[in-house]
Amino acid sequence: MHPNDSPDAPQTAFTAAQGSALKHIEAQRAALSDWCATIFDFGETAWREYRSCAWYVARLREEGFSVEEGSAGMDTAFCAEWHNSPCGPGPVIGLYAEYDGIPGNCQAAEPRRAPRSGLGYQAGGHTDPHSGLGIAGLGAALAIKAAMVRHGIPGGIRFTGEPAEKLRGSKPIHAAKGYYDGLAAILSFHPFYMLPMCNTVRWDTHCGAGYAMVYRFLCDAPEKWAAQDGAPIPQAHSMVRAPGAGEALNLMFTASKALRDSVLTHQGGWTISEAVLTHGQATADNQPAGLAELQYMIRVPTLAMADAVTAALDRNAEAAALMTGCRWERHWVSKSRPGLANHAMAGMVWENLKQLGAPQWNDAARDTARAIQRELGLVPMDDPFIPEMSRLTDPQSAEAALRRDLPPSQSHSTSDDYTDMCWHAPTARFYIARPALRAPAGFAYPAWVMNALGGIPATIDPMVERAAQVLAVSGLKVLEDSALRTRAMDEFTERTGGGIGGSDWIAPLCDYDPPLHFRWPEYVTTPRGHDWWIPATMPGA
């Protein structure tokens, strides 16, 4: 029995086209599994997903989609379209793939801690996993296309490739360039990442705003910082000299951490994360470092909070630059809007999820989970997975559980850039369980466990298949049901105060070029072969 072939699954009442789409996904099970493993193994990270993007582009072209590579000026983005032209014009639905991972999370698809072949642990890897997210979207798009052809359904599919989601990167840019305009609806799936968001649909409390930026310090005129003796090289290298960009970065880093509790009243969920991108120290000489770059990611409920945090960081950057003989620049990586609910779309997706049921995991998946527990010195459990994985949670119950930890005034929680899509078409956001293990009392699993479970076919395939099914039947529901489209668009118009451009509509915030030129971590080809920018061979790897 296949993991998702539960004997207790409810009998469905899907349309003929939806039934055809489900059969198409069933027929593609092996291919979806292989494709997911391929993207997982690429393990590419933000703005550098070259192989992953090329794979999707080639696959979509083989399936008859027209594909724009490098959409909106982003090297690793794309926009694919297909229209059922013989049936005339009709509504177009939006689906998408993400395929970026995170540096420092290189994990093989094995039930033990091990980097992928030829790499060290600090290389990139999938954590959410976006490898499964994207293939679920692709599987749905192909199933919808097949059903539209077979049943003569007019309309089309727009399938976008969204790089750098971990930096909230592409969707604000795609939105500002019009790639989501004109769609009847957008469907957004994500592997579950927090309870109670397991097998459910978001209702009112959507993800909040996200800002990301790089502060660049440049010490390109160190002679202006203090008086010199006029000699080309200061006597014995001991004259007063500018501290330089490295010191500016250090001051910015520590000052911003110290001020974090004062930036905003810590009311509800907000976070500020930082990462050093570049520190251009001049080898071992005592020349001041000429370049240093520090990236910040801000996750907050509202745009006003994001702007307040940014203003505080700007002040710190100015002070750090003045103290170290530098000038500073702020370069935007992302400015994403908070999410917008649509109950008509959410309710429709929930009804489909109820009919399909929660994903199921079979004995092979449980054996893999027990192997991990043995690897960690635990007693293997009869039922090693958390019970929520195979349960449904209705949207209202999930909403109530989420709200228990939030103050009444907080309208949004956590951050994800699907929110930018919500302002251009009625959007539903739903979650399907990814594999997660039960923990004995007082024990916490290391991060590699979730990463491995997201790459091992036996454990991740049930999520991919169920998500593809929900996306496919929901997309066809939009295409076939004009009354649903009207309700969803009427609600979108009401919530935005008149639709796109309405009184309550938030326009795209993206007023910057794609931030492709920074030294983002990536795989490189050197005389030593295919390597990560941090050496592949590491002590103790």
Q: What is the pLDDT of residues 128-159, one digit of tens each?
A: 999 999 999 999 999 999 999 999 999 999 99
Token pair of 284 as six digits: 């071992």
How far is Cα 290 from Cα 222, in angstroms, rounded to an integer?
9
Burial label for 284, CB within 10 Å (0-12, 13-18, 19+), is exposed
Q: Which of 189, 91, 209 is nearest to 430 (CA)?
A: 189
How far is CA 220 from each of CA 110, 235, 248, 282, 316, rounded to the nearest angstrom?
A: 48, 21, 13, 13, 20
Better-predicted residue by pLDDT, 243 or 399:
399
How would CATH label the architecture of 16-206+338-495? 3-Layer(aba) Sandwich (3.40)
Mean of pLDDT over the chain: 91
Longest dimension (CA), the chain: 87
In whole angstroms, give the CA distance from residue 349 to residue 345: 6
CA dihedral 240, 241, 247, 251 (to 10 degrees): 60
pLDDT of residue 11: 43
Residue 414 vs residue 535, higher pLDDT: 414
Average the pLDDT over 339-351 and give the result. 98
Q: Which amino acid is present at 341?
A: A
pLDDT of 369 > 70? The answer is yes
Mean pLDDT, residues 399-410 taken together: 91
Residue 248 has pLDDT above 50, yes or no: yes
- CA dist list (Å): 479 to 89, 155, 422, 512: 11, 7, 18, 35
Residue 407 pLDDT exceeds 60: yes
Mean pLDDT of 442-456: 97
Confidence at residue 536, expressed as pLDDT on a 0 to 100 scale: 54
pLDDT digits (tens, 9 = 90+) for 251-301: 999 999 888 767 665 666 678 889 998 887 665 566 788 899 999 999 999
Dist. CA 129–CA 509, nearest whole Å: 27
Q: Do the Cβ atoms of 280 and 289 come closer than 8 Å?
A: yes
pLDDT at 235 over 60: no
Give, rounded to a whole angstrom, the gap between the first and last alpha carbons of the chain: 38
pLDDT, position 528 = 72
Contact 381, 37 (CB under 8 A): no
Local confidence band at 3 (pLDDT 50, 70, 90 cut-offs): low
Q: Are 32 and 140 in contact (CB under 8 A)?
A: no
Average pLDDT over residues 385-414: 93
Q: Which of 33-42, 115-124, 133-142 shows the lowest mean pLDDT across its residues?
A: 115-124
* pLDDT of the residue at 438: 96
Q: How far is 485 from 183, CA to CA, in rounded Å?
A: 11
What is the C-alpha R_g of the chain?
Answer: 25
16-206+338-495 and 210-337, same CATH topology: no
User: For the ranges 216-230, 395-409, 472-486, which has the lowest average pLDDT?
Assistant: 216-230
Distance CA 40, CA 126 (A): 6
Strands 102-103 and 124-125: antiparallel
Q: How far apart are CA 83 and CA 66, in angstroms?
A: 9
- Is the pLDDT score of 24 beyond 80? yes
**Which residues of 59-103 form beta strands (DSSP E)?**
66-69, 78-83, 92-98, 102-103
Q: 510-536 pLDDT, tens per residue?
A: 999 999 999 899 998 877 777 777 655
Please name the CATH architecture into which domain 210-337 falls: 2-Layer Sandwich (3.30)
pLDDT interval class at 540 (50, 70, 90)? very low
Q: Which pLDDT value is given to residue 530?
A: 76
> 36 pLDDT exceeds 70?
yes
Percentage of the chain beyond pLDDT 90 is: 79
* Residue 238 pLDDT > 80: no
SS3 per-residue string spanning 445-482: CCHHHHHHHCCCHHHHHHHHHHHHHHHHHHHHHHHHCH
Q: How far is CA 288 from CA 161, 217, 240, in A?
A: 41, 12, 11
Q: 176, 147, 141: which is closest to 160 by C-alpha? A: 141
408 or 22, greater pLDDT: 22
d(CA 329, CA 246): 15
Residue 73 predicted with pLDDT over 50: yes
The least confident of 14-18, 62-66, 92-96, 220-224 is 220-224
Q: 22: how many CB neighbours lie within 10 A of its CB?
A: 20
Alpha helices by DSSP H, listed for 117-190, are 130-151, 170-176
Q: What is the pLDDT of residue 267?
A: 61
Q: Which of 8-17, 73-82, 132-141, 486-495 has the lowest mean pLDDT?
A: 8-17
More confident residue, 10 or 369: 369
Distance CA(156)–CA(81), nearest Å, equals 7
Q: CB–CB of 45/521 below 8 Å?
A: yes
Which positions ≥6 away from 36 have C-beta within 8 Å?
Answer: 131, 132, 135, 457, 460, 461, 464
pLDDT over 60 (residue 8): no
How many CA within 13 A on the CB side of residue 209?
21
Looking at residue 239, its pLDDT comes to 62
* pTM for this prediction: 0.93
187: β partners:
428
Please name every residue paired with 244 in a beta bridge, in sequence order, or none if there are none: 289
Q: Which of 99, 166, 163 is nearest to 130 (CA)?
A: 99
Model pLDDT for residues 167-201, shown as the tens digit of each residue: 999 999 999 999 999 999 999 999 998 888 999 99
Average pLDDT over residues 438-456: 96
Give mean pLDDT, residues 408-428: 94
Sequence ranges of the domains in the chain:
16-206+338-495, 210-337
Number of H helices, E strands in the chain: 14, 15
Yes or no: say if 96 and 162 are a contact pair by the CB < 8 Å rule: yes
CA distance 124 to 264: 33
**Listed residue (487, 470, 463) closest to 14, CA to CA:** 470
pLDDT of residue 279: 84
